[in-house]
Amino acid sequence: MATVMNLSITTNATLFHNSYVKHKSTSKLVHHRRLYSSSNRPFSQSKKIMPSSSSLSVPISTKTVSDPSLTPSTFDFKSYMLEKAISVNNALDTAVSLGDPIKIQESMRYSLLAGGKRIRPILSIAACELLGGHESTAMPSACAVEMIHTMSLMHDDLPFMDNDDLRRGKPTNHKVYGENVAVLAGDAMLALAFHLVATKTKGVSSAQVVRILVELAKASGAQGLIAGQIVDVCSEGDSNLGLKDLEFIHRNKTAALLEVSVVMGAILGGGNEEQVEKLRKYARCIGLLFQVVDDILDVTKSSKQLGKTAGKDLVADKTTYPKLIGIHKSKQFAHKLNKEAIDQVVGFDSDKAAPLIAMADYIAFREN
């Protein structure tokens, strides 16, 4: 390509070797600081729910060194994440309003609005905008995938699952509301996710809505999230579990929801089959990357740093990438997945692809 741009990624993460990543682009990256008015949101609110600084701490800055003929510019990933997270938080707050029965609504809101990086909904919005769509179109599906993700965390934390007392630095849902309420609140959130997509998605055809509902159902059910969870549960302590089995668990338990986030955004943005499949591959790479990094963090960071219980995989005798191939090779694998993910978006408009490139790097170098 005529113009070569070096995207220098700096981070204080200690789990990876110092990295200097080069990305080729046909044009400069731009600084996305567009704030979205409440009129563009499907669930309009006058207030703004600010994400917590801890949940949206982004240990990455991106700098561009472009062709001298182009005006130097930067893509501020942290600002982009904060802006999108505010939009998502406002939409989630509106989608789950307090009402009768109050107990279930409080439990749902407790976990759903507890913070978090909002990676999945932001990916959905970024993919939609990459292909010319709008945030407002993607927002219902973005919120839906975050609801399903939150439901899975609530259920994972239960004593008969992962038995966790801490999530995002706060007591887990069942510690506050009880196990029975946590189960029901998660179930309610799953149902609400599909209702939200079916009733609030605007500006696209009914065929597109049906298609993303099918994608969401597959990703969250026995062919996706649940498939990974059941194999994970049944494999605890299994010394014969190999890399192929581990990849199956993670491609479903973790990567499925990241994949569907991007795919739904691509469909809503009007992408053709080739574009949707390229973005699907991008998402599969970052989905597995997310879990590889998660495995590394579990054995290299403290509970305070993670905002959840550290070292629980080791205690539960779970098979992880560091356990099977060691820390060094796990880091190498993560680097390979990161590169493969970014390769999938090189052919798209570089300005609009900047969030997806930065997201892949963020997932690779995150610290919690």
Residue 52 inside a domain? The answer is no
- Rounded Cα distance between 347 and 23, Å, is 11
Residue 268 inside a domain? The answer is yes
- How confident is the model over 312-316, as a mean pLDDT? 56
Residue 298 inside a domain? The answer is yes
Q: What dihedral angle (degrees, nearest 10) is formed by the CA atoms of 137, 143, 144, 147?
A: 180
> Quick one: CA dihedral 310, 314, 320, 325, positive or negative?
positive
Instruction: Look at residues 145, 127, 146, 133 and name the one whose alpha carbon lies nearest to residue 278.
Output: 127
Distances (CA, A) of 110 to 172, 203, 241, 267: 9, 31, 36, 31
Residue 333 inside a domain? The answer is yes
How does residue 8 score in pLDDT terms, banded at 50, 70 and 90? very low
Residue 285 inside a domain? The answer is yes
Residue 56 inside a domain? The answer is no
Residue 39 inside a domain? The answer is no
pLDDT reported for residue 49: 59
160-183 confidence digits (pLDDT tens): 887 777 887 788 889 888 889 999
Domain count, the chain: 1
How does residue 65 score in pLDDT terms, banded at 50, 70 and 90? very low
Beta strands in the chain (DSSP E): 4-10, 23-24, 61-65, 166-167, 170-171
Instruction: Look at residues 328, 337, 356, 296 and name the one whose alpha carbon lies nearest to residue 7.
Output: 356
> Beta strand pairing status for 170-171 and 61-65?
unpaired
66-77 confidence digits (pLDDT tens): 233 322 358 899
Domain that holds residue 163: 77-365
How does residue 332 score in pLDDT terms, banded at 50, 70 and 90? very high
Beta strands in 58-169 (DSSP E): 61-65, 166-167
Residue 267 inside a domain? The answer is yes
Whether pLDDT at 157 is above 60: yes
- How confident is the model over 96-115, as a mean pLDDT? 90
CATH at 235: 1.10.600.10
pTM of the entire predicted model? 0.77
